[in-house]
């Protein structure tokens, strides 16, 4: 197992985050129990980016407790994965988040635009600062 220092995403992990790979985001419920959600994922090179909708359980959880864990596995070889522990340091809403979900829709589905579940749905990007990154070998 190879552990990287705090706040570091090496090239292998960045490629996993930029690839067409799903991530599993773990947040902490009010009662202390874990909540895990499969999700699309992205990176800006320094942070892990998760795009979701305002009002969802994971958003409510990180507003109360920003600590999270993210596991991302390569689609072609799920035994190759990375585990990232960190915290949500910023939430981005508005046009940037709306454009970002369209970018993710192109990456994961090939669609030009994300098929919104309702016209009043508001998107948010959870910006995660890694505190620890582990790559099992």
Domain residue limits, the chain: 2-135
pLDDT at 120: 81
Contacts of 104 (CB under 8 A, 6+ apart): 40, 42, 51, 114
pLDDT at 30: 97
pLDDT at 4: 56
- Closest by alpha carbon to 74, among 8, 9, 13? 13
Statement: the pTM of the whole predicted model exceeds 0.85: yes
Largest CA distance in the chain: 45
pLDDT at 8: 75
Q: Which fold has domain 2-135?
A: Pnp Oxidase; Chain A (2.30.110)
- Chain centroid to Cα 81, Å, comes to 14
pLDDT at 3: 59
pLDDT 10s digit of each residue in the chain, 137 long?
555 555 578 999 999 999 999 999 999 999 999 999 999 999 999 999 999 999 999 999 999 999 999 999 999 998 999 999 999 999 999 999 999 999 999 999 988 777 766 778 899 999 999 999 998 87
pLDDT at 117: 64
pLDDT at 94: 92
pLDDT at 5: 52
């Amino acid at each position: 197992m190879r552990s990287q220092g705090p706040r570091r995403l090496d090239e292998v992990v960045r490629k996993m985050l930029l690839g067409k790979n799903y991530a599993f985001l773990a947040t902490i419920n009010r009662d202390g129990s874990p909540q895990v959600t499969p999700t699309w994922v992205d990176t800006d090179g320094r942070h892990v980016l998760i795009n979701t909708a305002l009002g969802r359980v994971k958003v409510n959880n990180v507003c109360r407790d920003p600590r999270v864990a993210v596991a991302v596995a390569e689609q072609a070889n799920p035994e190759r994965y990375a585990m990232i522990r960190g915290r949500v340091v910023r939430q981005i809403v508005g046009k940037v988040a709306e454009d970002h979900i369209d970018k993710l829709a192109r990456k994961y589905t090939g669609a030009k635009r994300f098929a919104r579940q309702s016209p009043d749905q508001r998107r948010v990007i959870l910006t995660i600062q890694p505190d620890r990154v582990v790559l099992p070998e």
